[in-house]
Amino acid sequence: MIMKPQDVLVALRLCLKDIPSTYAKKAQDLGMSASEVHAAERRLIAARLLDSNSHEINRDAFLRFLVNGVPFAFAVAPAEMTRGIPTAWAAPVLENEFSDSNQSPPVWPDPNGKVQGVAIKPLYSSIPKIVQKIPALYDLLALLDALRIGRARERKRAEEELGKRIKNYATS
Protein backbone atom coordinates (compact mmCIF):
# COMPACT_ATOMS: atom_id res chain seq x y z
CA MET A 1 0.00 0.00 0.00
CA ILE A 2 1.33 3.45 -0.89
CA MET A 3 1.25 6.20 1.72
CA LYS A 4 -0.57 9.38 0.79
CA PRO A 5 -0.05 12.89 2.15
CA GLN A 6 -3.34 12.78 4.05
CA ASP A 7 -2.04 9.72 5.94
CA VAL A 8 0.65 11.90 7.51
CA LEU A 9 -1.94 14.54 8.41
CA VAL A 10 -4.19 11.92 10.04
CA ALA A 11 -1.24 10.44 11.95
CA LEU A 12 -0.16 13.86 13.21
CA ARG A 13 -3.72 14.50 14.42
CA LEU A 14 -3.69 11.13 16.22
CA CYS A 15 -0.51 12.19 18.02
CA LEU A 16 -2.29 15.08 19.74
CA LYS A 17 -4.36 15.10 22.88
CA ASP A 18 -8.16 15.30 22.54
CA ILE A 19 -8.43 12.88 19.62
CA PRO A 20 -11.97 12.88 18.20
CA SER A 21 -13.75 9.59 18.80
CA THR A 22 -15.37 9.02 15.41
CA TYR A 23 -14.22 9.09 11.81
CA ALA A 24 -16.78 11.82 11.12
CA LYS A 25 -15.34 14.06 13.85
CA LYS A 26 -11.76 13.38 12.75
CA ALA A 27 -12.79 14.18 9.18
CA GLN A 28 -14.40 17.44 10.24
CA ASP A 29 -11.25 18.41 12.15
CA LEU A 30 -9.04 17.67 9.14
CA GLY A 31 -11.18 19.00 6.31
CA MET A 32 -11.61 15.65 4.60
CA SER A 33 -14.26 12.96 4.33
CA ALA A 34 -14.77 10.20 6.89
CA SER A 35 -13.91 7.62 4.23
CA GLU A 36 -10.58 9.39 3.57
CA VAL A 37 -9.76 9.27 7.29
CA HIS A 38 -10.71 5.60 7.47
CA ALA A 39 -8.58 4.76 4.42
CA ALA A 40 -5.67 6.76 5.87
CA GLU A 41 -5.85 4.81 9.13
CA ARG A 42 -5.90 1.52 7.18
CA ARG A 43 -2.75 2.56 5.30
CA LEU A 44 -1.11 3.63 8.59
CA ILE A 45 -1.88 0.21 10.07
CA ALA A 46 -0.45 -1.50 6.96
CA ALA A 47 2.72 0.62 7.32
CA ARG A 48 2.96 -0.38 11.01
CA LEU A 49 2.68 3.25 12.10
CA LEU A 50 -0.71 2.76 13.79
CA ASP A 51 -1.62 -0.09 16.13
CA SER A 52 -4.69 -1.91 14.81
CA ASN A 53 -6.06 -2.67 18.29
CA SER A 54 -5.38 0.45 20.34
CA HIS A 55 -5.39 2.88 17.37
CA GLU A 56 -2.35 4.58 18.86
CA ILE A 57 0.50 5.88 16.75
CA ASN A 58 3.82 4.03 17.01
CA ARG A 59 5.56 7.29 17.85
CA ASP A 60 9.16 6.14 17.46
CA ALA A 61 8.56 4.61 14.02
CA PHE A 62 6.40 7.56 12.97
CA LEU A 63 9.07 10.06 13.98
CA ARG A 64 11.66 8.12 11.95
CA PHE A 65 9.27 8.22 8.98
CA LEU A 66 8.70 11.97 9.38
CA VAL A 67 12.42 12.72 9.49
CA ASN A 68 13.71 10.21 6.94
CA GLY A 69 10.76 9.53 4.64
CA VAL A 70 8.44 12.51 4.32
CA PRO A 71 11.03 14.97 2.92
CA PHE A 72 11.63 12.54 0.04
CA ALA A 73 8.20 10.97 -0.42
CA PHE A 74 6.44 14.35 -0.31
CA ALA A 75 9.15 16.69 -1.56
CA VAL A 76 8.23 20.27 -2.29
CA ALA A 77 9.99 23.25 -3.80
CA PRO A 78 9.26 26.92 -3.15
CA ALA A 79 7.16 28.51 -5.88
CA GLU A 80 5.86 31.99 -6.68
CA MET A 81 5.33 34.87 -4.26
CA THR A 82 1.88 34.85 -2.71
CA ARG A 83 -0.12 35.76 0.37
CA GLY A 84 -0.55 33.01 2.92
CA ILE A 85 0.05 31.42 6.31
CA PRO A 86 3.67 31.17 7.49
CA THR A 87 5.16 27.70 7.64
CA ALA A 88 8.53 26.06 8.38
CA TRP A 89 10.93 28.50 10.07
CA ALA A 90 8.55 31.43 9.46
CA ALA A 91 5.75 29.86 11.56
CA PRO A 92 5.35 30.86 15.21
CA VAL A 93 6.84 27.55 16.42
CA LEU A 94 10.26 28.38 14.90
CA GLU A 95 10.18 32.09 14.04
CA ASN A 96 12.37 33.13 16.99
CA GLU A 97 14.90 30.35 16.42
CA PHE A 98 16.61 31.77 13.36
CA SER A 99 17.80 35.27 12.58
CA ASP A 100 16.02 37.13 9.85
CA SER A 101 17.55 37.00 6.44
CA ASN A 102 16.78 38.55 3.10
CA GLN A 103 14.94 35.34 2.25
CA SER A 104 11.17 35.56 1.77
CA PRO A 105 9.23 33.53 4.34
CA PRO A 106 7.66 30.25 3.21
CA VAL A 107 3.85 30.34 3.29
CA TRP A 108 0.95 28.04 2.53
CA PRO A 109 -1.08 29.93 -0.08
CA ASP A 110 -4.25 31.35 1.44
CA PRO A 111 -6.18 34.40 0.22
CA ASN A 112 -6.91 35.34 3.85
CA GLY A 113 -3.26 35.01 4.90
CA LYS A 114 -1.54 38.04 6.33
CA VAL A 115 2.05 37.29 5.21
CA GLN A 116 3.56 37.78 1.76
CA GLY A 117 6.04 35.01 1.00
CA VAL A 118 7.18 32.14 -1.17
CA ALA A 119 4.42 29.59 -1.82
CA ILE A 120 4.93 26.12 -0.37
CA LYS A 121 2.38 23.54 -1.44
CA PRO A 122 0.84 22.17 1.77
CA LEU A 123 1.00 18.46 2.43
CA TYR A 124 -2.81 18.36 2.05
CA SER A 125 -5.15 20.95 0.58
CA SER A 126 -7.17 21.61 3.77
CA ILE A 127 -4.13 22.51 5.88
CA PRO A 128 -4.38 26.33 5.58
CA LYS A 129 -7.94 26.19 6.95
CA ILE A 130 -7.52 23.58 9.69
CA VAL A 131 -4.37 24.97 11.31
CA GLN A 132 -6.31 28.01 12.44
CA LYS A 133 -8.55 25.73 14.55
CA ILE A 134 -5.88 23.39 15.97
CA PRO A 135 -2.73 25.31 16.99
CA ALA A 136 -0.81 22.20 18.11
CA LEU A 137 -1.38 20.64 14.67
CA TYR A 138 -0.18 23.88 13.06
CA ASP A 139 3.07 23.58 15.01
CA LEU A 140 3.61 19.96 13.93
CA LEU A 141 2.88 20.70 10.27
CA ALA A 142 5.16 23.76 10.24
CA LEU A 143 7.95 21.70 11.79
CA LEU A 144 7.35 19.03 9.17
CA ASP A 145 7.68 21.67 6.44
CA ALA A 146 11.00 22.74 7.95
CA LEU A 147 12.11 19.15 7.37
CA ARG A 148 10.75 19.23 3.81
CA ILE A 149 12.31 22.53 2.68
CA GLY A 150 14.80 23.65 5.31
CA ARG A 151 18.54 23.79 5.29
CA ALA A 152 20.52 21.53 7.63
CA ARG A 153 20.16 23.75 10.71
CA GLU A 154 16.40 24.21 10.27
CA ARG A 155 15.95 20.48 9.67
CA LYS A 156 17.99 19.61 12.77
CA ARG A 157 15.99 21.99 14.98
CA ALA A 158 12.68 20.79 13.50
CA GLU A 159 13.65 17.16 14.11
CA GLU A 160 14.45 17.89 17.76
CA GLU A 161 11.25 19.83 18.32
CA LEU A 162 9.06 17.28 16.50
CA GLY A 163 10.52 14.47 18.60
CA LYS A 164 9.90 16.37 21.81
CA ARG A 165 6.33 17.30 20.92
CA ILE A 166 5.26 13.92 19.56
CA LYS A 167 6.60 12.13 22.65
CA ASN A 168 5.18 14.73 25.07
CA TYR A 169 1.72 14.53 23.53
CA ALA A 170 1.80 10.80 24.34
CA THR A 171 2.27 11.46 28.06
CA SER A 172 0.15 14.61 28.42
- Residue 67's SS3 state is helix
Cβ-based burial of 18 (10 A; exposed 0-12, middle 13-18, buried ≥19):
exposed
> Other C-beta atoms within 10 Å of 20: how many?
15
Candidates 69, 66, 29; CA nearest to 140 is 66
- 128-163 per-position pLDDT tens digit: 999 999 999 999 999 999 999 998 999 999 999 999
In sequence order, the β-bridge partners of residue 117 are 82
Q: What is the mean pLDDT of residues 115-120?
A: 96
Calculate what percentage of the chain has a pLDDT beyond 90.
83
In which band, very low, low, confident or very high, does the pLDDT at 172 lie, cut at 50, 70 and 90? very low
Determine the Cα–Cα distance for residues 8 and 153; give it in Å rounded to an integer: 23
Handedness of CA 132, 137, 143, 147 (dihedral sign): negative
Cβ-based burial of 144 (10 A; exposed 0-12, middle 13-18, buried ≥19):
buried
Handedness of CA 126, 91, 150, 65 (dihedral sign): negative
In which band, very low, low, confident or very high, does the pLDDT at 99 lie, cut at 50, 70 and 90? low
